[in-house]
Amino acid sequence: MSNGVLYNTYYFIIMTKINPMETKQNFTKVLKNKYIPTAEFYSQIIDSLQDYSIFTLDNDFIINSWSSGSTKIFGYETDEVIGEPFDLIFTEEDLKNGIPKKEIETALKEGRATDNRWHIAKDKSLFYAYGLVFPLIGLNGEMLGYVKVLRDLTDRKQSEDAIKNYIKELEDLNTHKESVMAILSHDLRSPLSAIIGTAKYLKENFRKMNSDTVQEMLDLVYKSATDELEMLDYLVEWARIKYASDTFSPTKLKLIEYIEKVFETLNETASINTINLHHEIEENTSVFADSKMLISIIQNIVSNAIKHTEKGGSIKISASSKEDKIIVQVKDTGIGMSKEIMEKLFTPQMKTLSETRKENKGAGIGLLLVKGFLEKNGGEIWVESIEGEGSTFYFTLPIEKPLYKIGSSDEIMFDESA
């Protein structure tokens, strides 16, 4: 209220000799009755909410208003989105699942629709948001369109995910520690005891033994010792996944270069068994991964394929892209495996590891190592196999550095007081 209004009100009270309190109440009533908020007033309130995106859609789900908070969160200026479809803010996955349509249907049926999900900004980055959609009804009950309200909860989501990941890492570390101790006590201790026992027997009896028996026992000792060294190498690499995260340094890598390095390393072993190694990888195929881990991933899978492929067989590597991932396929003409073995192939159970190591020439630890490295790099691995016909291992790696990793869709309750 201006000073002039205050002076005139005071003069009016004195001249008419009316009770000041009564006059004040009446004057307030007059002001309330005469004051009607304008569209500009509401627009200023909406634009002041910088932490919220508020925009409207017409009946065809076309954006027809856009707040300054929307610009801040999505990165689009008003003139860039007016006239654009509602689909603009949804991820490809949500569009495939028909989420925009489902939101509208729920809003019409229940009066409002709420959700927590990932949305996509102008620069293609992802952010996690609480969303609310409700119908916009005119004074005469006519359908004018819809209002969409979003609040960016990315920081909260990432903090929650970080806590969940930290707890999971602690659980994994404990499992990992138990796994390593079990391998050391079962898969290393027993063979080492056998090596020591054989060496002791040779030491005490070799003068009385014929040369063929001595040679046979020395070959056995040598083979057992090299197997144990291979197992130790696996354990060191596996431990590096959990305990040496500072060495993890993913970059953009040309896939063909790493496959050819592995082929060069394993070519002699493959040639002895007349196994043909070849690939169909295009020159420009790239992945985003740690270089040392990528070498280990490819080498372990190909080495495993060589061990299980009979003489005269072949191993072929190919790749294809799907969305933001490269899918690498390693196909062999080997002995294949049963469904039971496939189901246990990537599970770190000590009994399974010991059995696969004895029965399948040490595949267990190597494939667990591969699985760990792939998960570290944002990938995954699976296998298809037919006994007697061969196996095909598939693994994925990201093409580019992920902006955000979309995690679980666990609900985050919207706190209006925050």
Region of 149 (left: φ > 0; alpha: ψ -120 to 50; beta: rest) is beta
Centroid of chain to Cα 256: 24
Q: For the whole prediction, is pTM greater than 0.85? A: no
- Dist. CA 396–CA 186, nearest whole Å: 32
When the pLDDT of each residue in the chain is averaged and rounded to a whole number, the result is: 76
**Res. 189: pLDDT tops 70:** no
**Segment of 43-52, 140-149, 175-184, 237-246 carrying the highest mean pLDDT:** 140-149
Fill in the DSSP letter of residue 245: G
Residues 34-72 have pLDDT tens digits of: 555 555 555 666 665 666 788 888 888 898 888 878 888
- Dist. CA 246–CA 407, nearest whole Å: 23
Residues 246-270 have pLDDT tens digits of: 567 899 999 999 999 999 988 888 8
Phi then psi dihedrals of residue 115, to 5 deg: -165, 165
Instruction: Report yes or no: 327 and 298 within 8 Å, Cβ to Cβ.
Output: no
- Dist. CA 236–CA 372, nearest whole Å: 13
Q: Is 242 helix (H, G, I), strand (E, B) or coil?
A: helix
- Whole-number Cα distances in Å, 9 to 1, 13, 266: 11, 6, 98
**Which residue matches tokens 């007016």?**
82
Tokens of 402: 């992920």
- Whole-number Cα distances in Å, 317 to 30, 258, 320, 327, 360: 83, 12, 11, 11, 22
- Whole-number Cα distances in Å, 30 to 27, 38, 45, 113, 295: 5, 18, 24, 40, 81
DSSP track, 251-307: EEEEHHHHHHHHHHHHHHHHHHTTPEEEE---TT-EEEEEHHHHHHHHHHHHHHHHH
Residues 82-96 have pLDDT tens digits of: 999 888 889 888 899
